């Protein structure tokens, strides 16, 4: 009976969201064919060259990267030459010489980087299998490794530089069905990975799960989070190094962003949920942890949430499909 209910749920959700039929074969593209669809979001963490607290968002179907100032609601097109951009992470060097966005392209299988000031693009890696999201391991102001989830393969790969300074992939962990969101824990030796489907492999109500992995061995660790999430899409950490794990996760089909806090003994529980956020596919937290930003996938709204009070306001609206032009 549970399997039948899950199959029926898949059919209903597939019809409602117009998912492609390859969802049934395990290569599901969990993206509605809607030209408004927007996915990931990241925030510039350091006060360098006026980029402090600027938001960067990608538009999946238009191939756009936007820069948004939540203080003024100004929205600037950085580039529109991407191909199905999905995940995004920001790198700023300590001396201010680099301001880059690293972006996965789901259908092209590439990771690219974009200079945030000039819009100049360059290839980082190609030949990946539906790269969904990525996380940067940074040390001393430089990128040591890039960890990428592969949606189709249900795996995590590590991109590292070889002797010729080319980024080469190596498998870290597998067996994570429809792996999407990834966030490195403080220290960079472990990571949280969001999966759209739970252990039953058939999607149904609240089957999303979060897996915790050791990035050195690939071992699956005791999961600090919960099963029963509505498609965990992106994470952002609340805790400082040396403190128990504390993070926000966007539940794309749950229309909410949930905070999960862990105690020193490793036990975890949901401590808060911000509800009424329609299809949140991207979230970012300000460095002082006082404000959370959430991107609504289809409306283009970016919501600013006071993490102490839960007060919510619209801080920007990204352009609709017909409003954008190529630079």
Max Cα–Cα distance, the chain, nearest Å: 59
In the prediction, which pLDDT does 50 show?
61
Using pLDDT thresholds of 50, 70 and 90, give the confidence band for residue 59: very high
Render pLDDT for 107-163 as a digit per residue (tens, 0 to 9).
Answer: 999 999 999 988 999 999 999 999 999 999 998 888 999 999 999 889 999 999 998
Q: What architecture (CATH level 2) is domain 2-323?
A: 7 Propeller (2.130)
Between the two ends of the chain, the Cα-to-Cα distance in Å is: 54
Give the lowest-confidence range in 157-166, 267-276, 297-306: 267-276
Q: What is the mean pLDDT of residues 179-185?
A: 93
Residue 39: exposure state from Cβ atoms within 10 A (0-12, 13-18, ≥19): buried
Q: Is the pLDDT of residue 297 over 80?
A: yes
Q: How far is the C-alpha of 170 from the C-alpha of 158, rounded, in Å?
A: 5
Q: Identify the DSSP state of 8.
A: H
Q: Is the pLDDT of residue 173 over 50?
A: yes
In the prediction, which pLDDT does 311 show?
94
In the prediction, which pLDDT does 324 show?
45
Using pLDDT thresholds of 50, 70 and 90, give the confidence band for residue 49: low
Q: Over pLDDT 90: what percentage of the chain?
A: 48
Residue with tokens 């100032």: 69
Q: How far is the C-alpha of 38 from the C-alpha of 136, rounded, in Å?
A: 21
Give the lowest-confidence range in 2-11, 123-132, 173-182: 2-11
In the prediction, which pLDDT does 143 show?
92
Using pLDDT thresholds of 50, 70 and 90, give the confidence band for residue 24: very low
Q: How far is the C-alpha of 46 from the C-alpha of 49, rounded, in Å?
A: 9
Using pLDDT thresholds of 50, 70 and 90, give the confidence band for residue 38: confident
**So where are the chain's domains?**
2-323
In the prediction, which pLDDT does 239 show?
83
Q: Is the pLDDT of residue 246 over 80?
A: yes
Contact 230, 265 (CB under 8 A): no
Q: Is the pLDDT of residue 14 over 70?
A: no
Using pLDDT thresholds of 50, 70 and 90, give the confidence band for residue 8: very low
Q: What is the mean pLDDT of residues 278-286?
A: 92
List the Cα angle 61/63/65 in 5-degree steps.
125
Model-level pTM? 0.85
In the prediction, which pLDDT does 7 show?
39
Q: What is the mean pLDDT of residues 89-114?
A: 88
Handedness of CA 234, 299, 287, 253 (dihedral sign): negative
Q: Is the pLDDT of residue 18 over 50?
A: no
In the prediction, which pLDDT does 163 show?
84
């Amino acid at each position: 009976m549970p399997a039948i209910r899950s199959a029926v749920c898949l059919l209903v959700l597939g019809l409602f969201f117009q998912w492609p039929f390859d969802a049934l074969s395990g290569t599901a593209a969990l993206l509605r064919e809607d030209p408004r669809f927007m996915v990931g979001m990241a925030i510039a963490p350091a006060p360098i060259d006026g980029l402090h607290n600027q938001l960067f968002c990608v538009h999946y179907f238009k191939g756009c990267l936007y820069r948004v100032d939540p203080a003024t609601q100004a929205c600037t097109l950085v580039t529109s030459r991407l191909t199905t951009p999905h995940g995004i992470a920001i790198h700023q060097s300590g001396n201010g010489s680099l301001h880059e966005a690293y972006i996965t392209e789901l259908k092209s299988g590439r990771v690219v980087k974009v200079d945030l000031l000039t819009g100049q693009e360059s290839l980082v890696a190609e030949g990946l299998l539906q790269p969904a999201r990525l996380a940067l391991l940074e040390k001393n102001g430089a990128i040591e490794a890039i960890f990428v989830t592969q949606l189709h393969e249900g795996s995590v790969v590590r991109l590292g530089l070889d002797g010729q300074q080319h980024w080469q992939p190596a498998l870290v962990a597998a067996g994570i069905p429809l792996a999407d969101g990834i966030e490195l824990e403080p220290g960079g030796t472990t990571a949280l990975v969001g999966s759209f489907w739970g252990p039953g492999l058939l999607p149904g109500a609240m089957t999303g799960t979060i897996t915790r992995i050791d990035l050195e061995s690939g071992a699956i660790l005791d999961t600090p989070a919960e099963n029963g999430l509505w498609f965990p899409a992106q994470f952002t950490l609340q805790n400082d190094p040396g403190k128990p794990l504390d993070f926000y996760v966007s539940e794309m089909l749950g229309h909410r962003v949930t905070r999960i806090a862990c105690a020193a003994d490793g036990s975890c529980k949901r401590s808060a949920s911000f509800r009424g956020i329609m299809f949140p596919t991207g979230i970012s937290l300000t460095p002082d942890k006082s404000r959370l930003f959430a991107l609504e996938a289809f409306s283009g709204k970016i919501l600013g949430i006071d993490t102490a009070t839960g007060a919510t306001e619209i801080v920007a609206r990204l352009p609709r499909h017909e409003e954008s032009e190529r630079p």
